[in-house]
Structure 1
Amino acid sequence: MRCVLLRKRLLLRRIRSRRTSGTSSKAQLELAKDKEVNELCQKLATAAGRDEFEYEFYVVLDDKLNAFALPGGKVFVNAGVIGKANSEAELAGLLGHELSHSFQLITEGTLTASLTQFIPYIGGLLRDITTLSYSRNMERQADALGTRLLASTDYASDGLYNLMITLKKQEEEKLRDNPPTWLASHPLPKVRVSYLQELITTTEYDLYAYEGIEHHKAIQTKVGQLLKEHKAQQEKKGDLRNFDELSP
């Protein structure tokens, strides 16, 4: 925990420096707000019963498999992980997990909480924040609360578990040298998967509740189009920059 706090102090200094220096917003991650994703997140937030926060939910237009949180109800999910999830229940499990982390981070004190005021100025530093790993105990708590939020919002309670299995297969079969970013900052030992499996089988949580497969496909299509358009814009900007460099 002390290591995490020290890294956050360094991040805060860099963020303040970037804010005062007027760094261009070109370096920022491209964020979008999606109606369906926001409604899903708001449902989870209501179930959490933490109405003291101003919740904000963003889709990051990046195809990497990642999601992360800032203190006090700020959750970011990459378009890539929305595309990889097989159902709305899996996506809800991931978002519930990250929402849990945003509650955990606020308890670390005003230092961590102060990061939230710099969201418009963070830019590329968001990538640094995503690498702040959580302890085993924090992961266990977030898994438990995330699963409870799933069950209390009438989603199939194994949504998070199923998504983690999917991501684990990605790590083992295809990305041994470059595992999904979410797994890098969210350690996934076998004991943690076993804990989730035990949790959903020993409680009265419903494994056969709503999965939302068809609705999730609609979300994937919409977010996938946003990502495609963003990539096209970036490629166009790159072509223009190359043209300017070649011009006499």
Structure 2
Amino acid sequence: MELTGASAVVTGGASGLGAGTVRALVAQGVRCTIFDRNEQGARALADELGSLANVVAGDVTKPEDCQRAVDQAAEGGQLRIAVNCAGTGWVGRVINKDNSPHDLDAFRFIQELNVIGTFNVMTRAASAMAKQEPQANGERGLVVNTASVAAFDGQIGQLAYSASKGAVVAMTLPAARDLSVVGIRVITIAPGLFDTPLLGLLPEEQRQALGQSVLFPKRLGDPAEYGALVVHLAQNPYLNGEVIRLDGGIRMPPK
């Protein structure tokens, strides 16, 4: 895909993996719409990056907010990339220590954010991309969704989170097949342990221990490495319908 002059929408783009993606795409000349509930953080990043970054404040679980973000990214007719990084985790076992069942509202919240949010942006972005003129190789766009190694190596307490990320994995191939007719590729990245604001809440000693659990290199992943992979996916047209683990070789233990 030719990136210079293209535009992208990145959910959760104000921090973590999303911010790493925005920085990597802007460095390639891509105009990025940062779509995030954290408007202050999104605007700070946009101010840092200059004219190629703009902001839509909103919630991926609200279809109308997703449409606003896609519409802004599509202005000028060059929406080529959508990256879904918005999401969060949850800790809760199937039954609690008192043998009461997992909270349904918590389970539903994680599915709404991680699965429905991904669906909302993917479908709307693909609809906009399908209306664009194809590039020379017939390609119109790329959707990158974010799963997690928890989709495969779910730990104790990750019932809701693993279910949501497993759903993102399962959407990958049918979405790629559906969109192949209009020249849109769909790929999912399954990150391992990354240095994001979520892990930033942990004590430094615990963060170091998590890094040492990675096969190699023995550290937490850098969001810039996630962004670099997104750029490569955009530039390599033969990657499609695949789930790629970006995890330093880690296989998560039960806890």
Q: Same fold (TM over 0.5)?
A: no
Which of the five TM-score ranges fits, normalised by the shorter chain? under 0.3
- Considering fraction of residues, name the structure with more helix: 1
- Considering fraction of residues, name the structure with more strand: 2
What TM-score do you get using the length of structure 1 for normalisation?
Answer: 0.27
What TM-score do you get using the length of structure 2 for normalisation?
Answer: 0.27
Larger Rg: 1
